[in-house]
Amino acid sequence: MMKQPYRIIISGGGTGGHVYPAIAIANAFRDRHPDAEILFVGALGKMEMIRVPEAGYKIVGLWISGIQRSLTLANLKFPFKLIASYWKARSLVRSFRPNVAVGTGGYASGPMMIAATWYKVPTVLQEQNSYAGLTNKQLAGRANTICVAYPNMDKYFPKSKIQMTGNPVRRDIVNLEGKREEALRHFGFDGGLRTVLVLGGSGGARTINESIVAGLDQIVKANIQLIWQTGKVYYENIKAELTGADLRHVRVYDFVKEMDLAYAAANVVISRAGALSISELCLAKKPAVLVPSPNVAEDHQTKNAMALVKEEAAIMITDWQARNTLVEETLKLVRDNDRCTVLSERIGRLGKPRAAEQIVEEIEKLLV
């Protein structure tokens, strides 16, 4: 009798920090099991509904969202959304009959993973941050295995379930060797000039954007090339603010799809300090100026950044300092070849290029 292809449900999203690890896990699983059937489950209206099909996978959306901090109409709808999403998730489990379900955090992951465990489907959670997300903390008791990227996660999860794998990232970032020339051509840049890549996470970062707008004249005068991902929310306003500016060496995008080329072109990267951003920077081996977001649970981005600063593997500027010092410190770094070399070597030592493969190995242990 012919063996049936494995069927995997992968659920997670809301931000790039949940979506891209999910796609990386799917890619690594398909490498080892080319005939596998992989179904993504996300939240309607969120970025995964676009990014997952772009990566070549089918996705089903649940009517689910997070709880707002203030009393709003959206909060009143939350219990109804949760119940509707849970029943749809149960229907998906019954019809798709997965061998394993994988959750990477975010709104949709909760009802999907609860539905999977109800039908006794083995489950794997992947937690990206040093401070565990609410969804994963609530699901931990039901999960078979929990893959983490930071030590001491047993304060959130049962120690017996934890596997230290690191964060899986987009596979095209793992090997940037030989891509610089292609990257410079792609962005229309001069190989003789230094390049700075500006990132604010998948949604953009107001402080970083405002700092770059304020310091753009300095960047232009320094003859530095700029790849600037503003985030969709900020893009139109920033384009309007830049009317009449000298943008010959500046490329402004709401979202950069070709992240491997952006990293390959960059000499220095300005970034938030989310777990996925940190993991990508480590694998890309790029000198980085980190501006942790202050609007996250337990200030975990500062903890992420400080872990690198202690290893002399990155520079950190606080959110409140950024408007005054970010551009100045970045220009100082991009001109200092020796310091860039040291930062590149040290951040590269912290990378975990086999994270996705290790998570797949944990999934394979549960396949039935």
pLDDT (average), residues 232-237? 92
pLDDT confidence bin for 78, thresholds 50/70/90: low
pLDDT (average), residues 239-255? 94
> Which two three-digit tokens encode residue 124?
């794997």
Average model confidence (pLDDT) across the chain: 92
Q: How far apart are CA 320 and CA 322, in angstroms?
A: 6
For the stretch 324-335, pLDDT in tens is 999 999 999 999
Strands 145-148 and 123-127: parallel
> Which two three-digit tokens encode residue 279?
């993991």
pLDDT in the model for residue 76 = 62
pLDDT confidence bin for 171, thresholds 50/70/90: confident
Given a cut of 70, whether residue 69 has pLDDT beyond it is no
Q: How far apart are CA 61 and CA 84, in angstroms?
A: 12
Q: Cα angle vertex 26, ends 116, 233, to 5°?
A: 95
pLDDT in the model for residue 63 = 85
For the stretch 278-324, pLDDT in tens is 999 999 999 999 999 998 877 889 988 998 999 999 999 999 999 99
pLDDT (average), residues 333-356? 95
> Which two three-digit tokens encode residue 261?
């080329």
pLDDT in the model for residue 279 = 94
Strand-pair partners of 37: 7
Given a cut of 90, whether residue 15 has pLDDT beyond it is no
For the stretch 127-136, pLDDT in tens is 998 888 888 9
Phi and psi of 220, rounded to 5°?
A: -65, -45
pLDDT confidence bin for 203, thresholds 50/70/90: low
pLDDT confidence bin for 83, thresholds 50/70/90: confident
Q: Give pTM, 2 decimals.
A: 0.84
Supply the angle between the helices 275-284 and 337-348 in degrees, to the nearest 10: 110
Strands of the sheet with 268-271, listed across from one edge: 250-253, 225-229, 195-198, 268-271, 288-290, 315-316
- The beta-strand segments (E) located in the chain are 7-11, 37-43, 58-62, 100-103, 123-127, 145-148, 162-164, 195-198, 225-229, 250-253, 268-271, 288-290, 315-316
pLDDT confidence bin for 221, thresholds 50/70/90: very high
**Domains of the chain as residue ranges with CATH:** 7-167+354-364 (3.40.50.2000), 172-348 (3.40.50.2000)
Percent of the chain whose pLDDT exceeds 90 = 77
Q: How far apart are CA 321 and CA 12, in angstroms?
A: 33
Given a cut of 80, whether residue 68 has pLDDT beyond it is no
Q: Cα angle vertex 203, ends 281, 275, to 5°?
A: 35
Given a cut of 80, whether residue 254 has pLDDT beyond it is yes
